[in-house]
């Protein structure tokens, strides 16, 4: 590693720390003004995103993909929680089952996605 890369990595570390501090401080200000605050997971994902943005070049892509994957799982979890909350008091139906499959589809691998797509297509054909 030459000196230029070393100084660049140090500067990026300071930039990442500054951005993490800004995200944290903005969440503190929002907490005072809002009755609903951002979840700690969302705040943590924003901080990880800032770190991945300023990470050294060889690691940046791997870290960014991991942060994107975590964000996808977080969104899927929230959607499932909202979906199951809306089902409370109702008996499970084929429609709610297919909606659940549609919600979890983004986090599945390609083989399982194609199975879900086929199930949803069959449901669509049968329901029309």
Is residue 100 within 8 Å of 83, Cβ to Cβ? yes
Residues 63 and 115 in one domain: no
Q: Count the Cβ atoms, other than its own, within 10 Å of residue 113.
A: 14
Range of the domain at 34: 1-89
Residues 73 and 117 in one domain: no
pLDDT confidence of 1, banded at 50, 70, 90? low
pLDDT confidence of 40, banded at 50, 70, 90? confident
Residues 58 and 118 in one domain: no
Ordered alpha helix ranges (H), 1-128: 3-33, 40-53, 57-87, 94-104, 110-127
The predicted pLDDT at position 37 comes to: 57
What pTM was estimated for this model as a whole?
A: 0.73
Residues 81 and 109 in one domain: no
Place of tokens 């499932």: 80
Judged against a pLDDT cut of 70, whether residue 35 lies above it is answered with no
């Amino acid at each position: 590693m030459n000196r230029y890369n070393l100084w660049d990595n140090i500067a990026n570390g300071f930039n990442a720390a500054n951005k993490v501090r800004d995200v944290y401080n903005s969440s503190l200000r929002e907490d005072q003004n809002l009755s609903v605050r951002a979840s700690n997971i969302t705040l943590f994902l924003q901080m990880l995103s800032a770190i991945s943005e300023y990470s050294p070049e060889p690691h940046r892509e791997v870290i960014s993909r991991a942060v994107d994957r975590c964000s996808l799982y977080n969104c899927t979890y929230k959607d499932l929680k909202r979906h199951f909350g809306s089902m409370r008091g109702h008996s499970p139906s084929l429609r709610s089952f297919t909606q659940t499959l549609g919600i979890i589809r983004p986090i599945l691998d390609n083989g399982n996605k194609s199975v879900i797509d086929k199930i949803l297509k069959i449901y669509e054909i049968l329901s029309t």
